Structure 1
Amino acid sequence: MTRRTDAHPELDRPDVLAPFFSTWRVGTPARQRLTVDAIARTWERRPWPAEGLRGYHVYTGHDGSTLLHHSQWTSEQAYEAFARTHRQERVDEIDTAVPGIERLGLGRYRRYRSTAGEDRAAAVPGCVVIVGVEFDGPDPGRQRAWVDAVFEALESEPAPHPGGIRAHFHLSTDGTRVLNYAEWESAQAHRDALAAPGDGVGSPTAQWTRVQNWPGLKSSTVDRYDHALGLVPG
């Protein structure tokens, strides 16, 4: 049985060893809504497809064009078995309902570190911010070192901006990217943080300057999303 939930996913679940992220471009806010509805119908009318899938969540991009997908797998092998047996029929049904979806690729990650956030454990995110960082080549050590440097900058932050709840840093399995799934109280809180003095979220400290000028840092992106659909085994 497949059950819908409004609850956001737990990014630090110990049984989720293969978190995946992907993006679909659908074009317009109306098509975002149609696609979310099509995904919900397609999944809810079928049994839950795999014991190794702990949850599947879809988010609408504030750009009015994209959807973010986050699936929580116990292993890559569990996903591969799903892809061989259940994925295509779902894709076909969704594409029939909403033709012309552009799928921009699947990113395979491992969660590395999350901020503590004990005092905000009960906070419900009003906005999810995805920060993507790409390096100029594969280097797992560099991925970890960069995230560790971000934590050093956060810990030394003299004036933390209000509104941030938790941040969950993921390392791509190919060694080239870092994805930060950041939970914020609202999109406005995040916009205010970006507009604060300094280059991005964070004060103009030596620690943040080091993060922003890391050797081999190729590019970074920041995108805001709303949680639109959660599907879990029922």
Structure 2
Amino acid sequence: MTRRTDTHPDLADPRIGAPFFSTWRVGTPLRQRQTVEAVAAAWERRPWPADGLLGYHVYTAHDASTLLHYSQWASEQSYEAFVRTQRQERVDEIDTAVPGIERLGLGRYRRYRSGVRDGETRVLGCIVLVDIEFEGPDPDRQRAWVDAVFEALESEPAPHPGGISAHFHLSTDGTRVLNYAEWESALAHIEALSAPGDGIGSSTAQWERVQTWPGLKSTTVSRYDHALGLIPD
């Protein structure tokens, strides 16, 4: 069966072979809440769909308009089988409960590197998603840019204490990097952004290299709260 959980997902679980992220635009805080409950109802009334799905999580965006969906699949083949046989009935039920949802697309990723402070025990308060887009596909550039971020983090003279972890994912089409970052609170992230420097990080040569990487097209930052976790019972 399907069970609801308040526990945040483990993004570094080695069983995850195909992490997927997608965004739905629903329009208002009320519709955010209604859609989360519609998702929960559509899933909880049905058996867990596949052994290859480790968890499915939904987040409410601080823009009060969108939802983030993060699903942990063992493989893309498991996901494709779910789409062929079980996805549509869930979508239809959700759309009946909350008409007019705009689905903005599914991003297919692979986790590349994660950074977590040793002995970290703080309570997670906010998810920050940093979406990096490059000009055209280049898997080597994706990896090199993430490696440069880690070099900048390791040389950071004044790291903000509010950051808990960062999980960097590479899109399978070679064009994007997605950082799923865990923060102590939204306020801590806002304070970090307002510190000297262009974004998170001090004004160092390492961070300037990250921010002016050749082919870097855009950076989008969004904050979320974990609203729903679904796992097999």
TM-score range, shorter chain: over 0.9
Q: How many residues align?
A: 233
For each residue in 1:23-42, what CA deviation from the matched residue of structure 2 results, as whole angstroms up to 9, or x when unmatched? 00000000000000000011
Question: Could you tell me which residue of structure 1 aligns to residue 194 of structure 2?
Answer: 195
- Per-residue deviation, 1:181: 0.0
Measure, in 2, the Cα distance between the counterparts of 1:140 and 1:86.
32
Structure-2 separation of matches of 1:211 and 1:175: 18
Structure 2 distance, partners of 1:127, 1:85, is: 34
Matched, 1:96 2:81: no
Structure 1: which amino acid aligns with 2:192?
A
Q: Which residue in 2 is equivalent to 1:13?
A: 13
| Contact 2:116–2:164, Cα closer than 8 Å, also in 1 | no
Shift of 1:76: 0.3
Per-residue CA distance 1:164-197 (angstroms, 9 max, x = gap): 0000000000000000000000000000000011
Give, in angstroms, the shift of residue 200 of structure 1: 0.7
- What SS does structure 2 have at the residue aligned with 1:119? coil
CA distance in 1 between partners of 2:191 and 2:224 (Å): 16
Instruction: Please say if residues 108 and 171 of structure 2, whose CA atoms lie closer than 8 Å, have aligned partners that are also in contact.
Output: yes
1:102 and 1:188 mapped to 2: Cα distance? 29
1:26 is aligned with what amino acid?
V
Question: What SS does structure 1 have at the residue aligned with 2:38?
Answer: helix
- What CA distance in whole angstroms lies between the structure 2 residues aligned with 1:203 and 1:78? 42
Instruction: Name the CA distance, whole Å, in 2 between partners of 1:193 and 1:116.
Output: 17
AA of the residue aligned to 1:54: L
Pairwise CA distance, 1:123:
2.4
Aligned to 2:219: 220
2: CA distance between counterparts of 1:25 and 1:125?
25
- How far, CA to CA, are the matches of 1:118 and 1:20 in structure 2? 27
Match of 2:125 in 1: 126
User: Retained in 1: the 8 A contact 2:32–2:64?
Assistant: yes
Given that residues 164 and 184 in structure 2 are in contact (C-alpha distance below 8 angstroms), is that contact kept between their aligned partners in structure 1?
yes
Contact 2:24–2:103 (CA<8 Å) still a contact in 1? yes
1:106-133 deviations in whole A, cap 9, x for unaligned?
000000000032221x323100000000
| Separation in 2, partners of 1:76, 1:123 | 33
**In 1: Cα distance, 2:19 partner to 2:129 partner:** 14
Alignment RMSD (CA, Å):
0.5
**Partner of residue 165, structure 1:** 164
Q: Give secondary structure in 1 for the equivalent of 2:91.
A: helix
Q: Structure 2 CA distance, aligned partners of 1:22 and 1:140?
A: 21
- Residues 127-174 of structure 1 show CA distances to partners (whole Å, capped at 9, x for unaligned) of 000000000000000000000000000000000011000000000000
Structure-2-length-normalised TM-score: 0.99
CA distance in 2, matches of 1:64, 1:94: 19
Q: Normalization by structure 1: what TM-score?
A: 0.99
Distance 2:5 2:215 in 1: 40
Deviation by residue 1:35-77 (Cα, 9 ceiling, x = unmatched): 0000001100000001000000000000000000000000000
| SS state at 2:50 partner | coil
Q: Measure, in 2, the Cα distance between the counterparts of 1:96 and 1:124.
A: 36
